[in-house]
Every structure is written in structure tokens, then in C-alpha cells.
């Protein structure tokens, strides 16, 4: 067994986690000061969103120096201390590796744009104009063309994200070797591994308008493994919006020596209109959603591994997205926790999720920081959408939802900072905060803590086979886990209304392992479920 197979990972978005010096920006000493809290929660690793030098066009996902810490976040000594203090508490630090692109202020790009024959020119992707225009109509994820014209050299460079995020040219061997060197710098410091940003894009063929899953993608990952990860006890998780169960096997089959696992996004895209963008909203069909998640649960035997998550720094908060963040905030937050943490794979918790933090509501674009939302706003205004429609989409899907500061206590600015927070703290911090959660045994936090411990204590949760129950029920998500004669049954009602279900072949003797409504018994022929009720029982030849 690998350490990450029964681990739970916690994602820290450093800008919003904890400020230590009153400048309103979360920082590394702030994270270190909260390690005791994370130890109490019981997590094994932190996925740390980028803390490297960056002009912050995309909040750190535009890196100008991979081996320097952004002064806003602290120093390399602070980083070393975080790694060391984490280690003392059994918490590994998994770095965010953003190597599909750099910042345009990275020295490689500064050099590259100096002239066509610069030694770094080929580290990036340049094309001549075609009929005085961009080479083709590839678009950037942040709106507009993916090509920007460089006046001085008369060529276009490719950027699948903002124009300040030029794409690296993975065809260039020297560039690849420089990336591996940089990775080894971090691995030698003792980090726990990497989360690889949009890694499915590195094999792109821009001339053929092929971005994800290019022909050499897996060769590059194998080469990367050979030069960096081989022989090291670290975890890697690729961010792959394009992943299918088949492609996920290519990444995560241990025999192939690529990555430990990938993030797949199938279940995250079902509340948007097919073929359109994340902003084109559609109601979630729970049956379809259950099927998507279940497909991934049964996809791997010995040849792959799943990651499990409801949200991250790019997505809305789960309790607001699919739960009810008003009347049933606590119940629904626990419900989604129970549902996810008893599945097969490595669970990820996004900061604040463990206390049931909610989306925020904005009424003006001036309140928005995120480049993705801002660009979309202006583009859609021009296309004739109404302000109200666009702001509604941002409230539902915008990335700032996840980026408001963590709510630590009920003091001013939620204990996040003594200064002015870079992004406003949500007004509900007075009741939703860590201090409250720790003191209340019935809080969302305590359910997360319990679920993390259950995973440690019960191999059935880590290894058991998954079987979907009640596949056609549009309100209740039910599944079974089976492992060496042991059986777990998990029921979760994703509904504001009471629900009733009946299940066959259920154990008569069982123990209720976790519940969000103090349930102690189940009548399988007629299970009455309260709004967002979730529970799990354990039964079988338990040794
Ligand atoms: O996200 C990849 C990505 O495709 C996002 O743009 C995603 O489509 C969008 O945010 C969903 O709302 C990664 C990082 O997680 C994101 O924060 C970065 O902005 C992006 O890469 C570029 O590095
Ligand atoms: Ca700070």
C-alpha cells in the first residue's frame, strides 16, 4: 500500500487561508500557525496552491520563478519551516506544479521574446501570422483568442489561459529538462509530491487545434517520472478536465510509471448545458450524476486510482451548489461529506468545506477579483446578455465563491487578518467559523473528523468494492462497499423534502457508523429519510 491510498488531502489556497502580518493576504507563516488545527482534523497532506513568485494575473497560476516564494507569501525559509512543521505532525506538503505555461514575466519568456534566435525562443509556441491574422481560431479559457501578437518579433505566441500565461513548448527537450530540474529542487526539499495543473494539455498540437490528450502526452509523463518521481515516496495528482476512465488508467496505472491519480471532472460538468460553457446553467439530473460518479467508482481494479472531491479553488462551494446553504446548511454539508468520504479513492477537502462555508453573493462586478469571471462579464455584456444574467451566473459558478477568506472566528475579518482582506470576508462569518465548529460537537467539522478517522480504521473504505443501489431514484444516493465479508451501506438523500425508500438484501445486524440525524436504526423495507439525511451502516462477518 502507498501512503496516499488511505490518506485525506486538504487543499490550501494560500491567499485566503490565514494572514500573519496584517497585509490582508494569507501567507505561509499563516498556514504554519494553523497546522495544529489541520492535525486535529486528521488530514495527511496539504495540496498547496501556488506560492511561487508571480505577477498574480491569475492569482499565482502565472509563475515568474518556480524556485522563489512570492514575497506576499513569505520567504523560502518560511516554506522550509512549513515543510518541517508539517512533517512533525504527519502532514506532507504537496506543491502545485504549473508547467503547461509560465508567466510572461518568467525569465524564459522575457528571453524568448527578445528575438527569434534567442536560446529560449523555442521554450514557447510561436507562429507566423496567416493572412495578417492569428494562425487559427483557438480560444483561451479566459476568453478571446489563444494567440497574442508580439509586435517586436512579428509572431504570435500561444496562451490557452490569459495572455500573461504563455504556453510552454513541451516538444523542446531542454525546456523539459529544466522543468525536471526544478521539480527535483522541490522533491529534494522533502515535499510530498505535486498536483499537476492542466497536465492533460502539455501534449497539445495547436496547429491541429488539439489541446487535451496530444499524442506525446504520456511519453512526457513517463519521462518526467523517470527523471524526478522514480524511487521517491510521493504522490502526484494530475488536473485533467478531459479524463475518462480509460484515459485515467493511462495516467494512474502503477505499471505505467506516470502519476498516482488524476482529478476527473465529469460530475462537475453535469449542471451546465452540453457543448456550452460553465456559465450556461442547467439543473442537475441526480440520476445522471450518480451514474457518472459510479462509473468512476468501478473503473479501476489494480490499474488505477481515483481522487474524490466536491470543490476546489475554481468551483463553487458544494453546500451551496448541490446542498441547501440556508435551512439545511449543516445537514447538507454533512450529507455531502458522508457521501464522498465513504467512496473509493483519495478524498480532497477544500479549505472551509469542513466547516460548511458557503458561496458568496455579489451585486456588482466591482466585487469580483477573478480574471475568468471578469473577462466573461465583459465579453457577455458585448454579446448582449443582461448584467443580471451574468451576475447570476457568477454567483452560481464564479471562482471567487471558493476564494473568500477562511472564517476562523467571530472577530473582525473573521480572524483571517488584522488588516483589510484582499477579498471581502463573507458576512456569515459571525456564525460560521472554525472556533464555533471546534466547540460544537454537532458541527460539520466533527463529521469530517470522524469520516477521516473511519478511513484510517476501516480498510473496507479504502479497498472495498463499490456497488450503486437504487440507481433510478432521483433523490437518494445509495451505495454499498464490500470487503472481505464486510459490508457498508451508505444512504444520502439529496433533497429538501422527506424521502422514503426500500432496499432488499440488507443486513439485519449492523452498526450505524456515521449519521447526520442521530439515527440508530433502519427499517430497510421503509427507510424514512429527513431532508439531506445521510448515514452509513457496517455489517457482515466483521473481525
Ligand atoms: O484550472 C484549469 C482550468 O481549465 C480552469 O480554467 C477551469 O476551466 C476553470 O477555472 C473552471 O472554472 C487550472 C487552475 O486550477 C486554475 O486556477 C488556473 O486558472 C488554470 O489552471 C490556469 O493555470
Ligand atoms: Ca500576509
Strands 486-493 and 476-483: antiparallel
First to last CA, the chain: 21
Assess contact for 527 and 500: CB atoms under 8 A.
Answer: yes
CB 412 within 8 A of CB 5: no
CB 129 within 8 A of CB 135: yes
pLDDT at 271 over 70: yes
**331-340 pLDDT per residue, tens:** 999 999 999 9
Q: Is the pLDDT of residue 10 over 60?
A: yes
Query: At residue 543, does pLDDT exceed 80?
Result: no
Average pLDDT over residues 501-522: 96
Give me the catalytic one of 239, 314, 354, 370. 239
Q: Across the chain, which distance is largest between two alpha carbons, in Å?
A: 76
The pLDDT, as a whole number, for residue 79 is 98
pLDDT tens digit sequence for 391-435? 999 999 999 999 999 999 999 999 999 999 999 999 999 999 999
Give the C-alpha separation, 102 to 66, whole Å.
9
Q: 458 CA to middle of ligand 1, Å?
A: 35
d(CA 471, CA 111): 56
Q: Which residues of 442-472 are buried (b: 16+ CB within 10 A; e: fewer)?
A: ebbbbbbbbbbebbeebebbbebebebbbee
CA dist list (Å): 68 to 52, 78, 123, 357:
6, 11, 20, 32
pLDDT of the residue at 197: 98
The pLDDT tens digits of the residues spanning 284-324 come to 999 999 999 999 999 998 899 999 999 999 999 999 999 99
Instruction: With a cut of 50, say whether residue 97 has pLDDT above it.
Output: yes
| Most informative mutation of 54, 101, 161, 370 for ligand 1 (most atoms within 8 A of CB) | 161
Catalytic site includes residue 207 = no
Q: Which ligand 1 atom is the nearest neighbour of the CA of 101?
A: 23
pLDDT, residue 542, reads 53
Span 235-263, pLDDT tens digits: 999 999 999 999 999 999 999 999 999 99
Q: 311: which 3 cell numbers? A: 470543490
The SS3 call for residue 142 is: coil
Collapsed DSSP state (helix, strand, coil) of residue 59 = coil
Q: Of 149, 161, 164, 138, which Cα lies nearest the Cα of 241? A: 161
In this structure, the residue with its CA closest to atom 9 of ligand 1 is: 314
Instruction: List the one residue out of 303, 209, 306 whose CA is nearest residue 267.
Output: 306
Is the pLDDT score of 23 beyond 60?
A: yes
Average pLDDT, the chain: 97
Q: Which grid coordinates are listed for 239?
A: 488536473
Give residue 217's pLDDT.
98
pLDDT at 5 over 60: yes
What is the rounded average pLDDT of the residues 356-375? 97
pLDDT of residue 463: 98
505 is catalytic: no
Name which of 371, 325, 299, 346 is nearest 140 in CA terms.
371
How many C-beta neighbours within 10 Å does residue 308 have? Answer: 22
* Domains in the chain with CATH codes: 7-102+194-200+236-448 (3.20.20.80), 107-158 (3.90.400.10), 465-540 (2.60.40.1180)
Alpha carbon 469 to chain centroid, angstroms: 27
Sign of CA dihedral 128, 133, 139, 145: positive
Residue with the three cell numbers 511519453: 219
Q: Are 159 and 134 contacting, i.e. CB atoms less than 8 angstroms apart?
A: no
pLDDT, tens digit, for every residue of 45-90? 999 999 999 999 999 999 999 999 999 999 999 999 999 999 999 9
Q: For 229, which DSSP code? A: I
Mean pLDDT in residue range 197-219 = 98
Distance 420 CA to ligand 2 centre (A): 10
C-alpha distance from residue 118 to each of 109, 113, 121, 180, 426 (Å): 10, 8, 5, 22, 48
Residue 476 pairs with which residues in a beta bridge?
493
Strand locations in 208-263, DSSP E? 235-239, 261-263
Residue 354 Cα to ligand 2 midpoint, Å, equals 23
Q: How far apart are CA 459 and CA 436, in angstroms?
A: 32
Residue with the three cell numbers 449519521: 515
How far is 403 from 405, CA to CA, in rounded Å? Answer: 6
**Nearest of 529, 481, 489, 477 to residue 513 by alpha carbon:** 489
Residue 410 Cα to ligand 2 midpoint, Å, equals 20
By alpha-carbon position, which residue is closest to atom 3 of ligand 1?
A: 198
Number of neighbours of residue 494 by Cβ within 10 angstroms: 24
Give residue for cell 508571480. 54
Find, among 123, 221, 132, the residue nearest to 167 by Cα.
123
State what percent of residues in the chain have pLDDT above 90. 99
Q: Which of the residues 197, 200, 271, 331 is marked catalytic?
A: 197
Task: Please return the burial class of 263, using the count of CB atoms within 10 Å of its CB with bins 0-12, 13-18 and 19+.
Answer: buried
**What does the alpha-carbon distance between residue 294 and residue 288 come to, in Å, rounded to a whole number?**
10
Of all protein residues, the one whose alpha carbon is nearest to atom 12 of ligand 1 is: 314
Residues 537 and 482 sit within 8 Å (Cβ to Cβ): no
Global pTM reads 0.98
Identify which of 142, 279, 314, 401 to mutate to test ligand 1's pocket (most ligand atoms within 8 A of the CB): 314
Angle between helices 245-252 and 217-224 (to 10 degrees): 30
Distance 414 CA to ligand 2 centre (A): 15
Cβ neighbourhood burial of 166 (10 Å; 0-12, 13-18, 19+): buried
Backbone phi, then psi, for 124, in 5-degree steps?
-125, 180
Q: What pLDDT digit, counting tens, does each position of 351-363 carry? A: 999 999 999 999 9
Pocket-forming residues, ligand 1, beta carbon under 6 Å: 58, 61, 98, 141, 161, 197-198, 239, 241, 278, 313-314, 372, 399
pLDDT beyond 70 at 96: yes
The span from the CA of 286 to the CA of 323, in Å, is: 12
The closest of 329, 263, 357 to 9, measured between CA atoms, is: 263
The answer to whether residue 447 scores a pLDDT higher than 50 is yes
pLDDT score of 12 more than 60? yes
Nearest atom (ligand 1) to Cα of 98: 23
Take residue 24 and report the three cell numbers written for it: 490582508
Amino acid at each position: 500500500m502507498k501512503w496516499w491510498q488511505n490518506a485525506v488531502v486538504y487543499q490550501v489556497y494560500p491567499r485566503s487561508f490565514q494572514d500573519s502580518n496584517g497585509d490582508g493576504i494569507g501567507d505561509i507563516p499563516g498556514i504554519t500557525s494553523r497546522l495544529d488545527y489541520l492535525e486535529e482534523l486528521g488530514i495527511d497532506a496539504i495540496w498547496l496552491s501556488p506560492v511561487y513568485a508571480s505577477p498574480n494575473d491569475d492569482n499565482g497560476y502565472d509563475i515568474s520563478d518556480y524556485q522563489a516564494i512570492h514575497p506576499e507569501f513569505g520567504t523560502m525559509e518560511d516554506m522550509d519551516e512549513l515543510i518541517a512543521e508539517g512533517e512533525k505532525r504527519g502532514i506532507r506538503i504537496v506543491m502545485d506544479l504549473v508547467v503547461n505555461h509560465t508567466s510572461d514575466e518568467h525569465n524564459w519568456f522575457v528571453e524568448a521574446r527578445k528575438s527569434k534566435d534567442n536560446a529560449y525562443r523555442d521554450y514557447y509556441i510561436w507562429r507566423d501570422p496567416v493572412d495578417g491574422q492569428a494562425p487559427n481560431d483557438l480560444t483561451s479559457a479566459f476568453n478571446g483568442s489563444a494567440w497574442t501578437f508580439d509586435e517586436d518579433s512579428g509572431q504570435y505566441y500561444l496562451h490557452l489561459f490569459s495572455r500573461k500565461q504563455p504556453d510552454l513548448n513541451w516538444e523542446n527537450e531542454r525546456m523539459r529538462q529544466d522543468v525536471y530540474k526544478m521539480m527535483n529542487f522541490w522533491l529534494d526539499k522533502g515535499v510530498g509530491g505535486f498536483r499537476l495543473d492542466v497536465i492533460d494539455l502539455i501534449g497539445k498540437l495547436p496547429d491541429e487545434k488539439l489541446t487535451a490528450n496530444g499524442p506525446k502526452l504520456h511519453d512526457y509523463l513517463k519521462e518526467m517520472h523517470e527523471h524526478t518521481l522514480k524511487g521517491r515516496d510521493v504522490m502526484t495528482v494530475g488536473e485533467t478536465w478531459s479524463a475518462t476512465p480509460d484515459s485515467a488508467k493511462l495516467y494512474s496505472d502503477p505499471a505505467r510509471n506516470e502519476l498516482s491519480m488524476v482529478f476527473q471532472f465529469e460530475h462537475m460538468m453535469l449542471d451546465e448545458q452540453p457543448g456550452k460553457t460553465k456559465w450556461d446553467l442547467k439543473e442537475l439530473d441526480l440520476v445522471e450524476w450518480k451514474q457518472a460518479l459510479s462509473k468512476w467508482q468501478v473503473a479501476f481494479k489494480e490499474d488505477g486510482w481515483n481522487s474524490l472531491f466536491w470543490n476546489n479553488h475554481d468551483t463553487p462551494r458544494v453546500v451551496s451548489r448541490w446542498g441547501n446553504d440556508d435551512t439545511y446548511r449543516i445537514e447538507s454539508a454533512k450529507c455531502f461529506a458522508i457521501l464522498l468520504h465513504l467512496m473509493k479513492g483519495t478524498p480532497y477537502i477544500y479549505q472551509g468545506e469542513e466547516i460548511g462555508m458557503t458561496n458568496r453573493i455579489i451585486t456588482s462586478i466591482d466585487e469580483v477579483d477573478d480574471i475568468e469571471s471578469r473577462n466573461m462579464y465583459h465579453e457577455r455584456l458585448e454579446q448582449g446578455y443582461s448584467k443580471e444574467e451574468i451576475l447570476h451566473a457568477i454567483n452560481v459558478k464564479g471562482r471567487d465563491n471558493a476564494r473568500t477568506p477562511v472564517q476562523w472566528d467571530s472577530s473582525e475579518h473573521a480572524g483571517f487578518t488584522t488588516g483589510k482582506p484582499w477579498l471581502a470576508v463573507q458576512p456569515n462569518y459571525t456564525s460560521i467559523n472554525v472556533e464555533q465548529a471546534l466547540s460544537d460537537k454537532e458541527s460539520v467539522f466533527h463529521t469530517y473528523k470522524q469520516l477521516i478517522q473511519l478511513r484510517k480504521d476501516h480498510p473496507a473504505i479504502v479497498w472495498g468494492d463499490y456497488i450503486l443501489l437504487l440507481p433510478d431514484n432521483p433523490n437518494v444516493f445509495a451505495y454499498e462497499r464490500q470487503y472481505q465479508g464486510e459490508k457498508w451501506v451508505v444512504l444520502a438523500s439529496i433533497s429538501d423534502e422527506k424521502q422514503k425508500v426500500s432496499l432488499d438484501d440488507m443486513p439485519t445486524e449492523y452498526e450505524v457508523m456515521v449519521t447526520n440525524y442521530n439515527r440508530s436504526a433502519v427499517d430497510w423495507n421503509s427507510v424514512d429519510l429527513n431532508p439531506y439525511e445521510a448515514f452509513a451502516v457496517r455489517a457482515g462477518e466483521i473481525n
